A and B are shown apart, each in its own frame.
Chain A
């Protein structure tokens, strides 16, 4: 079982190494908090977010992949991890969420030859959510910027009071961002195992610690390990880029990202339309947030490369992951 879970844990580790930088990068790069403090806060809030909100998106991916063999889950997570590592190595933009969904499709095609109508529908919703994610983040950041500009105009703050509030805000938003990341992206790490029968539920007084939550705890630990062991460089790089935006802008961008990622971590009933919890890319949400601020400031241009990178990520990442999954599965199944 440990071997079966290892590929998912590796995926969690790489997610921690890359994506935690989005939320605490600013605070660490500007030396407001130590890296060690950022690691502790990220770990706590990613795990808590995963425990509380993680199961919803895990169910979505579980439903899409319908994996009922540990070897299949291992191969799928491995394919996604290899796709992420390979594309990162090649310097291509990559999203863990998109790699995992691609790998799940590869699994379904390998096992069942095709997708049923419900899965196609779910896939459509997932892809629409990916496209909507940076757009929503841009809109949220735009509104937040206008709101904050209004607040600053009506309530001008002394310099050091503003500094104190912004520092507190960056820390609070970082914690919320880690919570949102845990709630949304935990599905990428352990979603492939959801339909397996790996752990018995444990009752602790009035609470039942279900398999989903145990998986979320494991995934959270893997993400925390990734943050602790390998995220420093990415955190400082992303953080410095964000710091260049100035503290208010960085705060708004991270808050918009966290709000949108958190939004997609929950299932919503919008009239007759049921939107399931969907794992999305935190990095793309952040890019959307930065774009929204640029729009609010009256800058109406965006680097075409940034836009094309996002579009490439939507299409190429799932395709590569699906192909890898389709190729790795027969090898793993033979040894299972």
Chain B
């Protein structure tokens, strides 16, 4: 890179493309998590049409998020960022990408396996999926803090940790209800157990990523 291009990139508007891409990614991530919540609700209410519509949206969102991630990564490699910034943002994206993947695979399993969910689990499962929406929103706030207001990361991570704990409580409740239900076969219990764990895993992913972000932020505050 010659020195003129270096300064052009350093202070020009082109360097903001990564930020714009990340903003869009986070916006879509929020959307796909809400759709997961909606899809689980529709499945439990046996609203097939709504479920299919939301499942289609989730697939579409996941594809768009993948494309967006690849574009941001290409942008990062082309922009000659500091190795520290580059590595942290790439790791952030790679970890973040696990969330839409998990959402898509969980809903796909639901529809493939035609999981039979007893009535007694409905409210707890809906609550767990709702908790995912909340925790992803907090995670997005933490990521935005990391990108724009590093001092706010600590509070955001505390909130994430709190939300994850709440999620854990609901998840345990779901798992307990599954094994307490005498009407279910063992195979069904195992199938539901896996499903419940996968829905609850979004909270764990968000908390793990929050811990990484905390370290990246502290590192930059000296």
Contact = CB atoms under 8 A, between A and B. Distances in A.
A113 B222 CA distance: 55
Nearest to A166: B82
Interface stretch (A119-127, A154-162, A199-207, A278-286): A154-162
B114 interface: no
A159 B219 CA distance: 12
A164 B221 contact: no
Interface stretch (B54-62, B121-129, B141-149, B186-194): B141-149
B10 interface: yes
Contact of B222 (A149, A159, A166): A149
B96 interface: no
B222 A156 contact: no
Contacts of A148: 222
Given A30-B82, A149-B222, A164 B10 contact: yes
Contact of A33 (B6, B19, B148): B6
Contacts of A163: 81-82, 85
B23 to A, nearest CB: 12
A268 interface: no
Contacts of A149: 221-222
By DSSP majority rule, is chain A's interface helix, strand, loop, or mixed? helix
Contacts of A114: none
A164 B1 contact: no
Interface size bucket, B side?
20 to 34
A243 B83 contact: yes
A145 B151 contact: no
Given A32-B82, A149-B222, A156-B150, A164 B11 contact: yes
A160 B147 contact: yes
Interface residues of A, number: 29
Nearest to A30: B83
Contacts of B18: 160
A64 B81 CA distance: 47
Interface in A254-289: none
B2 to A, nearest CB: 6
Interface of B, helix, strand, loop or mixed by DSSP: helix
Contact of A159 (B2, B6, B146): B146
A109 interface: no
Given A37-B6, A164-B11, A152 B83 contact: no
A159 B220 contact: yes
A41 interface: yes
A167 interface: yes
Contact of A34 (B1, B147, B220): B1
Interface string A151-193: 0110011111011101110010000000000000000000000
A154 B222 CA distance: 12
Interface in B193-222: 219-222
Contacts of B151: 156
Contacts of A247: 82-84
A152 B6 contact: no
A41 B149 CA distance: 34
Interface in A4-58: 30-34, 37, 40-41
Contacts of B85: 159-160, 162-163
A246 interface: yes
A37 B3 contact: yes
Contact of B147 (A31, A158, A166, A168): A158
Interface of A: 30-34, 37, 40-41, 145, 148-149, 152-153, 156-160, 162-164, 166-168, 171, 243, 246-248
Q: Which 8 A-B pairs have the closest CB atoms?
A: A149-B222, A163-B85, A158-B148, A247-B82, A30-B83, A156-B150, A156-B151, A159-B147
Interface of B: 1-3, 6, 10-11, 15-16, 18-19, 80-85, 89, 146-151, 219-222
14 contacts: A33-B1, A148-B222, A152-B221, A156-B149, A159-B220, A160-B81, A162-B220, A167-B10, A171-B6, A243-B83, A247-B82, A247-B83, A247-B84, A248-B220
